[in-house]
Amino acid sequence: MERTSVIAPLQYIAARGAVAEFVASQAGGAAATHPGEYNIVDVEIANGRGQNFSIDREGFQLVAQPSAVSDFYDDLLISDIYEAEVKALIKSVTGADQVHIFDHTRRAATDSLRKAVKSREPASVIHNDYTDFSAIQRLRDLLPDQAEDRLQKRFAIVNVWRSIHGTVETFPMAFCDSTSVVIDDLVAVKRLSNDRIGEIQYALHNPNHRWFYFPAMKMDEAALIKTYDSATDGRARFTIHSAFDDPSAAADAAPRQSIETRCFVFF
């Protein structure tokens, strides 16, 4: 029988004003660290399969997305085939006029595999990738000639997350229903990497948070995660999420391998 939910520990920031930062990992190199004060909470993470989620309402959704890519570690196949698939998918789901892909991040769930395939590790702290400040700054940094014109209209950042090697058996993604999150739950913290200082959001624990995951995601499925939306009309703007150690995973389960593709979405 398929589980209706699992109980797993998730890592919240301890308090507003608590010391915390995120030091990004390097593909195949040092793992990410997030020094600071945290609150580890056992939360119920419900099976989201069969439910009708929307990135404009809950902030995330599961979609069918078969791919013609035969090897997701081949950068040429990613640029020649996968990017067109992702753009078509996001336009179909959101009605966007244009999609600009600016990042692909591969992740692997064991240190040995991560080093072998030069991936990063699953993100194990509750976070959202952007704040109001850092989303706009990222647009200005990456598309300086277009940014000011684009900022006159609605734009969003959407991540497309999928397995790149079989079924996801370990460290699946948990997504928090954005309708259960209030703005005071979100805390801006520094994101430090080799080339820049950014800003992401951590989350304070709120017992009203409703968490979901999609067990056993296949390679022909993808999760869409809205990490920023400039619109302030009541739709989801930020989506907190985290990988988690699934207590129902078999001891010999294959380590998760995934790719997330970050996209500017213009309307």
Per the DSSP assignment, residues forming a β-bridge with 140 are none
| Cα 191 from Cα 25, distance rounded (Å) | 11
CA distance linking residue 37 with residue 12, whole number of Å = 9
φ, ψ of residue 32 to 5 degrees: the values are -65, 150
Instruction: Give the pLDDT confidence score for residue 24 in this predicted structure.
Output: 73
* pLDDT profile of the chain (267 residues), mean per 10: 86 88 75 83 97 97 97 98 98 98 94 89 93 97 97 98 97 98 95 82 97 98 98 97 96 96 98
Order of strands, edge to edge, in the sheet holding 197-203? 21-23, 186-192, 197-203
Q: How many other C-beta atoms lie within 10 A of the C-beta of residue 18?
A: 15
Note the pTM of the prediction, 2 decimals: 0.95
Q: CB–CB of 245/236 below 8 Å?
A: no
pLDDT at 2: 66
Contact in structure between 173 and 235 (CB atoms under 8 Å) = no
Contact 164, 257 (CB under 8 A): yes
pLDDT of residue 12: 96
